[in-house]
Amino acid sequence: MQPQLDLRDLLPGSCPLAVRLRVLNRMAQSVQGRPHELASYLPRYVDFRCSSNGTMWLHPVDLDAGGLKGATQWLRITPDGVIREVRLPERFDAMRFSDSRVWGVVRDEFDVPSVASIALPVS
């Protein structure tokens, strides 16, 4: 039998990452329905980041992938309101955004992670 979780343990920084991931995975596995049905109550984005120049980055959920995984594209919204879709490689997890690059972790065919960066297209 697994120990019960206290809801206070789910606050960021107060709970080990492994426990937070386990809870999130259990929640995702219990979600049932077709993508158009799920869209009415699931978040449309799985991540939100900002770069130092005020550009916002939104990571849309990929309902067809199952669970709460994000799609390979991100929405880039500049401070002046220009929205552009930026597609990142399949096995690349974005961590930090700058004016000209996206920094993150890329995993090879053996799932070995490496630090990597990708140049952003010129607008």
Structure tokens at 8: 């206070």
Token representation of residue 4: 């019960």
Query: What is the predicted pLDDT for the residue at 15?
Result: 54
More confident site: 86 or 39: 86
Distance CA 15, CA 101 (A): 31
Q: How many CB atoms lie within 10 A of CB 109?
A: 6
Map out the domains of the chain as residue ranges.
1-30, 31-119
- pTM of model > 0.85: no
d(CA 114, CA 117): 10
Q: Could you tell me which of 35, 114, 28 has the C-alpha nearest to residue 67?
A: 28
What percentage of residues in the chain have a pLDDT greater than 90?
21
pLDDT at 8 over 60: no
